[in-house]
Amino acid sequence: MSIPRSLRSLLLSARDLAIAAGPFALIALALLVGAYYVLDPAPPRRVVLVTGPEQSDYAEFGKRYAAALKRYGIEVVQKPSQGSSDNRRALRDVTQNVDLGFVRGGSSDAARTADEEQSRVPLVSLGSLYLEPVWLFYRSEAAKRVNREATLTNLAQLKGWRVNVGPRGSGVTGLFSKLLQANGIERDSFVNSRLEQTPAVVALLSGELDALVIAAVPESLMVQMLLQTPGVKLYRFVQAEAYARRLPFLRAAELPRGVVDLARNLPAQDLPLIAATTELAARAGTHPALLQLFVQAAHDIHGGTGWLARAGQFPSEQNTELPLAPEADRYYRNGAPLLQRYLPFWLANLIDRMWVVLVSIVAVLIPLSRVVPPLYAFRIRSRVFRWYRQLRDIEEALRTESASPADLLEELNKLEARAENVTVPLSYAEELYSLRGHIQLVRGRLSASK
């Protein structure tokens, strides 16, 4: 089946344009591919989040982060730990396969901080997430040995008590040690216990412990249960503001009257507390797109009201022990990226990560693109101009009489037949008709020489 002449002309023109623009397109493609691999705009599909003990606040929040990022096709693998100190060590340890984790302020030893800063795995913060009060619960019976009111008034009165300060790695031990140091109290002045939270609460209620220290959100079921248990009291940090001034990782907080149970008016008065801020930490090399998603998820998870926080108070760039990640800083200043509000995440992230490179590539390719039109014109005209050499040879043979006019005429007829099959775009038809006119001119000279 023969192809219509108009379609054949269109296909040939398209082929010539593709050949002319091919090198230009290959250069552009190579630059784009190179930029894509250098910038690595697509985040990994799997990320490891180190949380805390089972059923702890960290573990529950980890589940919510996993659900939030699942919408973007990213799997959040939750890795249990003993708590904040374990999380910090895991993030710092190059042999540990973790990317992000929850870290409480003041959970590391001060002597170890300088060494950590020199670690091969630096950490960045995505912001403070919520306040985590230090709860010191004690038995009223034990406090009767201190005063008639059966109430602790200062930490020095813990001397000789059986106190649970949390398991190793929880971060509570280091945090409470800093409180003792601030009061000039030796840690061996009371009997230390290292039970996990649930066994420690059972031991407190059974009388095997006199007091226990917990760092947890007020909404924690264990904290709420202890606040309502007869015979168990909560230590009031009446010097909360002084603690906050001396220990920068602490903030003064207040448990409002009646917030536990309005009907029973529990607590019966505002209770002063001290609280550390828990922040979301990440390794400095974590993919920027992942950091953006985690910060946005933090806004949805921690941005509401709570017993100690007002709506919109968290997450925040304030009260972080670690340097703030650039992606988090941009979010706190400008909110979510504009493109992500209107485009799918993968497309918005691709444009956001590569737009600077795209502009640079375009700036490089614009001068190169000027080569394409002349190259295309040369290819089209070459279909016509290549026959002029044969036409000139025929004319030269006629002039020198090196061949008979009959032979030259036969050769000219073949040339003309080939020229009739040449197809060019309409904008170049002038060159084709000029060739045919010159063929007729030579034919006239051949006819006159017979």
- 111-124 pLDDT per residue, tens: 444 444 454 689 99
374: Cβ contacts below 8 Å, ≥ 6 apart: none
Q: Are residues 390 and 255 in the same domain?
A: no
Of residues 164, 250, 167, 255, the one with CA closest to residue 211: 164
Which pLDDT score, from 0 to 100, does residue 108 have? 64
* Distance set, CA 14 to CA 18, 19, 23, 24 (Å): 6, 9, 15, 15
Alpha-carbon distance 131 to 251, whole Å? 8
- Strand runs (DSSP E) across 165-303, as ranges? 191-193, 211-215, 232-234, 250-255, 271-283
Burial letters for 304-326: b for 16+ Cβ neighbours within 10 Å, e otherwise? Answer: eebbbbeeebbbbbebbbbebbe
Alpha-carbon distance 137 to 225, whole Å? 11
Among 312, 336, 360, give the residue marking a domain's end: 336
How many domains does the chain contain in total? 2
Tell me how crowded residue 125 is: count the other CB atoms within 10 A of its CB: 20
Look at residue 4 and give its three-state secondary structure: coil
Of residues 288, 281, 287, 291, the one with CA closest to residue 320: 281
Q: Cβ(42)–Cβ(350) under 8 Å?
A: yes
Beta bridge partners of 162: 191
Alpha-carbon distance 328 to 343, whole Å? 20
Which pLDDT score, from 0 to 100, does residue 324 have? 95
Q: Taking the complete model, does pTM exceed 0.85, yes or no? A: no
Q: Are residues 68 and 188 in the same domain?
A: yes
Alpha-carbon distance 40 to 116, whole Å? 28
Of residues 89, 81, 43, 50, the one with CA closest to residue 66: 50
> Of all residues in the chain, what percent carry a pLDDT higher than 90?
39
Among 278, 313, 336, give the residue marking a domain's end: 336
Which pLDDT score, from 0 to 100, does residue 38 have? 60
Q: Is residue 357 part of a domain?
A: no
CA angle (62 as vertex; 105, 202 as ends), nearest 5: 75
Q: Are residues 256 and 128 in the same domain?
A: yes
* Distance set, CA 102 to CA 50, 282, 316 (Å): 7, 9, 15
Q: Are residues 326 and 408 in the same domain?
A: no
Beta bridge partners of 251: 275
Q: Are residues 168 and 232 in the same domain?
A: yes
Beta bridge partners of 346: none
Q: Which amino acid is residue 225, in one-letter code?
A: M
Look at residue 309 and give its three-state secondary structure: coil
Positions of the chain with pLDDT lower than 70, given as ranges = 1-24, 27-28, 31-42, 108-120, 349-350, 353-365, 368-369, 372, 376, 450
Q: Where are the alpha helices (DSSP H) in 108-257?
A: 110-117, 140-143, 172-182, 197-206, 221-227, 240-246
Which pLDDT score, from 0 to 100, does residue 31 have? 64
Which pLDDT score, from 0 to 100, does residue 169 have? 81
Alpha-carbon distance 157 to 189, whole Å? 10
Q: Is residue 366 part of a domain?
A: no
Look at residue 266 and give its three-state secondary structure: strand
Q: What is the mean pLDDT of the chain?
A: 83
Which pLDDT score, from 0 to 100, does residue 296 have? 93
Q: Are residues 229 and 89 in the same domain?
A: yes
Of residues 99, 91, 125, 116, the one with CA closest to residue 322: 125
Which pLDDT score, from 0 to 100, does residue 219 have? 86
Q: Which domain holds residue 181?
A: 46-336
Q: Is residue 195 part of a domain?
A: yes
Query: Can you tell me which residue has the tokens 């930029």?
Result: 35
Q: Is residue 129 part of a domain?
A: yes
Q: Is residue 17 part of a domain?
A: no
Q: How many helices (H) and strands (E) does the chain have?
A: 15, 10
Q: Are residues 328 and 432 in the same domain?
A: no
Alpha-carbon distance 191 to 236, whole Å? 21
Q: Are residues 322 and 394 in the same domain?
A: no
Q: Is residue 30 part of a domain?
A: no
Q: Are residues 325 and 421 in the same domain?
A: no
Q: Is 336 exposed, middle or buried (0-12, 13-18, 19+ CB in 10 A)?
A: middle
Q: Are residues 282 and 381 in the same domain?
A: no
Q: Are residues 97 and 230 in the same domain?
A: yes
Q: Is residue 13 part of a domain?
A: no
Q: Are residues 238 and 175 in the same domain?
A: yes
Q: Is residue 363 part of a domain?
A: no
The domain that holds 162 is classified in CATH as 3.40.190.10
